[in-house]
Structure 1
Amino acid sequence: MARYTGPKTKISRIFGEPILGNGKYLGKNSNPPGQHGATRKRKQLGEYALQLREKQKAKYTYGVLERQFANLFDEANRRKGVTGEVLIKLLEARLDNTVFRLGIAPSRPAARQLVSHKHITVNGQVVNIPSFQLKPGDIIGLKPKTAGNTALTSVIRGKNPKFSWLDWNEKENRGTFIAYPERESVPENIKEQLIVELYSK
C-alpha cells in the first residue's frame, strides 16, 4: 500500500501549517527544515514554485501520492464544472477522507488504516480501498464485528456539524455521504487554481 511514511513535523514546517498531525511542535518561531533554516534569507517564490507548493500541500493533506493525484486531476478535468473545485470534491469523496470527516477515526492516516484492515463497509459491503470514490447516497458504517469492538468504537467522536454534506447516525454508528461538498464548505487551505495552472503548462 503506497503512502507517505516520512517525517510529519518536517512537512508541517515546510508549509508553516499543521498539514500532517496536530502541529503541536509548530509554533510561531518554527523554522523551515534544513541546516540553514533559521538564517537563510528566502527569495520571493516564483510562479512555478508557488504552483508546485500548492500541489504538494494538497497531496500531503489528503495522503495521495503523485500518480494518484495526477489521475484524480485528469478525472476532474474530464468532468463538467470548474476543474479545481471538482478536484477538491473528488479528494473529499475518497473513502478514507470521509471516514475521517465522519469522526470514525481521529486522523486521515488512522482512517486509511481502518479501511485497509477491512473495518469499514459501504452500503453493507466491506471495502478495503482507501481511494474508493463515494457517490451521493452511499452509506458508510462499521463491520458488525468491528462495531462490537469497544477499543475502536470508543474513539468515535461523530462528525463536525459544519460538514453539511455528511450525515451521522450516532445510534447505529453509520454515516451517509449526502452530496459532493461545495468548495466554500471545505476548510482546507488549498488554492486549487494554482494546481490547475501547474497541470495546464
Structure 2
Amino acid sequence: MSRYLGPCFKKIRRLGALPGLTNKIPRSRSDLQIQLRSIKKSQYRLRLEEKQKFRFHYGLTERQLLKYVRIAGKTKGSTGRVLLQLLEMRLDNILFRLGMASTIPGARQLVNHRHILVNGDIVDIPNYRCKPLDIIAAKDKERSKAMIIKNYLISSSHGELPNHLTMDSLQHKGFVNQIIDSKCSGLKINELLVVEYYSRQT
C-alpha cells in the first residue's frame, strides 16, 4: 500500500488530530468531537484506527510500519515503547518536532531535496535514524536557510519542544539530546493497540 496523498481532513474527521499530516484544523471542531465520541467501536476497529493514526501521522506506508513493528518486536524492551522511539527518532519527524518543518511531509521534502545536514553532512534519507548528540541544520545556502526560517516562524511545534530535543533559534540548528521517552511524545496514540493489531494478523 502506497503512502497516503489524499485529502487530509477526511482522515482527521475519522481518526482525530494528526499534527504530522497537516497543521490545518477543521472548521467545525465540535462536530468532529461529537462524531468521534458517539460511534461505538469494536475492539478490532479500535486497534485498526490506532494503527491508521500511526501510519498517517508519521507518513508511512503499510509495509514500512509493519517493518518497524517487526524490528521493535526483536528489540529488548517493550515492543510498543521501542516502536514509538523508532518512529520518533526518524529524521523527518525530528525536523517536524524541532519546528524546522510544519508537517512531516514537508520535512520529508526538505530532506529529499538535500537541504538538511546531520553533523555537517548532507542526509537525503527521511527515515535516517537520529542518535543522541546529532546536530541537525540547514545546508549553508540562502535558499535552504530561508525555507527553514519560514517553516520555523509558521510552525506551532517549536514552542513546545520535547525534552530530548533542543533548538538554537538564532543559528537554526537542532540538537538531539537523548532517545525520546515515550511519555514525552505528546501523541494521543496507544502504541500497544498497534502492536496488538499486527500480532493478530499473523
What's the TM-score once normalised by structure 2's chain length? 0.85
Please tell me whether the aligned partners of residues 12 and 26 of structure 1 are also in contact (alpha carbons under 8 angstroms).
Answer: no
Instruction: Determine if the alignment matches structure 1 residue 102 to structure 2 residue 93.
Output: no
Task: Measure the CA separation in 1 of the matches of 2:130 and 2:120.
Answer: 13
> Which position in structure 2 is the counterpart of 1:4?
4
Distance in 1 between the 2:160 and 2:185 partners? 12
2:29 to 27, 30, 47: 27
Once the 2 structures are TM-superposed, how far is the Cα of residue 15 of structure 1 from its aligned partner?
A: 1.4
Q: What displacement does 1:145 show?
A: 1.1
Does the alignment pair 1:173 with 2:172?
A: yes
User: 2:103, 2:192 → 1: CA distance?
Assistant: 26
Q: Secondary structure at the match of 2:31?
A: coil
Name the amino acid aligned to 1:9.
Answer: F
Q: Which of residues 88, 91, 101 is equivalent to 2:87? A: 91
Question: Structure 2: which amino acid aligns with 1:169?
Answer: D
* Paired residues of 2:164 and 2:180 also in contact (CA < 8 A): yes
Stretches of structure 1 that go unaligned for 5 or more consecutive residues are none
Cα 1:16/1:26, change in 2 over 3 Å: farther
Task: Find out whether 1:144 has 2:143 as its counterpart.
Answer: no
Equivalent residue, structure 2, for 1:13: 13
Instruction: Find the aligned partners of 1:31 and 1:166 in 2 and give their Cα distance.
Output: 31
Q: Distance in 1 between matches of 2:33 and 2:100?
A: 33
Secondary structure of 2:110's aligned partner: helix
How much does 1:162 deviate? 4.0
Percent identity, aligned pairs only, is 36
Is 1:95–1:130's contact at 8 Å kept on the other side of the alignment?
Answer: yes
Hey, what does 1:131 align to over in structure 2?
127
Please give the alpha-carbon distance, in whole angstroms, between the structure 1 residues aligned to 2:160 and 2:196.
Answer: 33
CA contact (8 A) 1:51 1:194 kept: yes
Bigger shift: 170-179 or 152-161? 152-161
Residues 1:193 and 2:192 aligned together:
yes
Q: What SS does the aligned partner of 1:68 have? A: helix
The answer to whether the Cα contact below 8 Å between 1:119 and 1:146 also exists between their aligned partners in 2 is no
Residues 115 and 138, structure 2, Cα contact 8 Å, conserved in 1: yes
Structure 2 unaligned blocks of 5 or more = none
Residue 164 of structure 1: aligned partner? 163
Q: How far apart are residue 18 of structure 1 and its match?
A: 4.4
Paired with 1:69 and 1:148, the residues of 2 have a C-alpha distance of 30
Question: Between Structure 1 and Structure 2, which shows a larger proportion of helix residues?
Answer: 2
- Cα distance change of structure 1 residues 47 and 125 upon mapping to structure 2, 3 Å threshold: same
Whole-Å separation in 2 of the counterparts to 1:179 and 1:115: 22
Q: Which amino acid aligns with 1:141?
A: A
Match in the other structure for 2:78? 82
Q: Distance in 1 between the 2:191 and 2:7 partners?
A: 25
Aligned length in residues? 192
Which structure is higher in RCO with an 8 Å CA cutoff and minimum separation 6?
2
Distance 1:136 1:149 in 2: 23
Compared CA separation, residues 151 and 69, structure 1 to 2 (3 A): closer
- Equivalent AA in structure 2 for residue 120 of structure 1: I
